[in-house]
Structure 1
Amino acid sequence: MRAWDGAVELPLGSPQQRTVLAALLLREGAMVTVDELVAAVWGDEPPRSAVNTVRTYLSRLRTLLRDAATIVSIGGGYALPVDREAIDVTVFFDQVSEARDARRRGDTAEAAESLRAAVVLHRGRPLSGAGGPYADAQRTRLEQQILGARIDLLAAEVELGHADEAIPELMALADEHPLRERVHELLMLALYQAGRQADALAVYQHVRLLLADELGIDPGAALQAAHRRILAADPDLVLPAVLPPTPRTPAPRSGSQRPGGMAVPLRPRRHRRRTGL
């Protein structure tokens, strides 16, 4: 998590204070109780001073964000209302949802465009610098969602006939996630489309042995079906490029131009300040 006032980076404080900010932002303006904030920072074993410490963090964050957003007291908790479109994490999920809608309509090109817009919002590890059980759980959730979006984007690219552009990232993902059959299936299809049938078959043999050694199972039905079609040199697996390759790193949105995670630009009042998850 990082924040800027113009070109000047703001000090977000300790990992615990960053976690309080993340808990408020990810609740999208809804109220977060003091007890929830305490649990987010310390889990089931908070110190005796936890409530007072959380209120100190909130006071510091109010001062830090005074020109961008206001932390408000609601009942027994606090909220940080910001525009939905100003939170990159929220925009990410909106773009993924739009891609799914496009897929259901059969518009692969539009789905790919939405997924590119989602994936480019991610830079670095989500919630970098935040600590505690809440940040750990949210980081894991976001990492899985980001990985899913990357895989869906690569699937769309392969379907659109952009095999050559997809192969390097699919190879990297296959190394990072060796037991994800969907990644290997897409890699096999991309290699076959690129005229590398032998390499595609070698991927299957590698995954088959890996699954047997690690999990004691055979490849799933989708992977086996792809293998059979490649063995048979199925001409339907070779797709024409219906669109020219699209640059894979489009210009980020305003407020998302710095490295280090999912940026969360806050709506300014007098000075532009933005934070990043």
Structure 2
Amino acid sequence: TWTVSVLAAKLADERRRLDELQAGDLAVKATFELGYGQLEPVQARAFRLLGLADGPDISLAAAAAVLDLPLWDTEDLLEALVDTSLLESAAPGRYRFHDLVRLYARACADRDEHPPTEKAAALSRLLDFYLSTAARVYAIERPGDRLVDHLERTAYEGLAFTDRHQAQDWLYAESHCLLACVRHSAATPTTLRRAVDLLWASLDLGESGADSREFEATGAVVRDAARAFGDAKAEGRALMVLAGVHHTAGRFQEADRDAELALPCAEKADDPVPACWSANARGIIALYQNRFAEGEQHLTEAIERFREIGDDPGEASALCNLSRIHLAMGRTSSAIELALRGTEIYDSMGHALRGANGRYALGLALTQDNQLAAASERLQEALAVFADSRQRLWEGMTLFRLSEVDLAARRYGQAASNAEMALTVLRGIGGEWRRANVLTVLGRALYPLGQSGRAQAC
């Protein structure tokens, strides 16, 4: 006689779900209890603690952090749980619970884990593992960047990588688990700051567009938690993460708002890093909104702030952004000079990814100076790095800038081809303002090719 809505309501409460799933003598929970009762004590502990971790699955290395055991001991325990069908092997080196088994494992942790503080300790080790490893990924991608010096300290070591591709592979493979860990950790004041730092250190997930929606939703969770706990430092950093997400999505008004709100939080907490990046972000957003004088003020402030904390890559970013402001104001010579200075700083530090941003800015300035061959070379160099680094937004925008060079050189067919590739790469990322710019250039390329109908449609 129960309606579907009543059944759904009963099953919606995770704490009661297993108790509801029974009919007479038949009960899902009883089956799990039979398997759990046959486990050795160390296996039962592993089952309980691993069930606490959120995310679709868990890697062997992350599981070792939860259990505070060596990899080989952890693997033996996990494989034993697979043999008892309490755990599934999702892929080599990765494991997952069925949703109902996970609920049972958490109920066992609440009932059987002693001392109870071990549950929080296990999740703290997992958070440390993700933060320490993400910080190493960030450092490989951005050598010399001072953010890693200002992250919360961790007590548990993460993974080390031999090259940037291996580091990138780890970050993207762990994205859903990592973001789930951030959301869970944001709910507790003692882990909130490490949670927001993990999100900031993983900003490639937001900038690349690979997991931008989940990344943005997680940023909002962290921001709201920081406000609820009255933690100005965590709030300032969360706001800068969200400003970056909005910038990538082409929501410039929202990006400027969050960057502006981040500054008083950073100053209240005496936290210099978000203060620097706030000024830098507001400067480039002012460029997009044609507020050039205001943008120049923000970027001049950003350069000074980065110099105060000895952040050379940050200074280079602000210099390259200032180059674009000068370019928009018709000061082409100084724009080239600023972009060169920024690029030289990046190159001196072996900063391939951000060096591509420098070449992007330099390519724009050289295009306006009618040095088209040199502009094309710089942009092609940037394109190769962006594509290799999975930076879809900047890969697409660089293709767009190459189409502008081709248009200026009257290579209309090549200009149309690059613009069409840019539209493909930017599908679902970058926002309508960027898409409109690419469509405009595509239309201008198609018209002299005799495709006036398509040109007008663009």
TM-score by length of 1: 0.43
Which of the pair has the greater relative contact order for Cα pairs under 8 Å at 6+ separation? Answer: 1
Which entry has the higher C-alpha Rg, 1 or 2?
2
Select the structure that is richer in strand. 1
Select the structure that is richer in helix. 2
TM-score by length of 2: 0.28
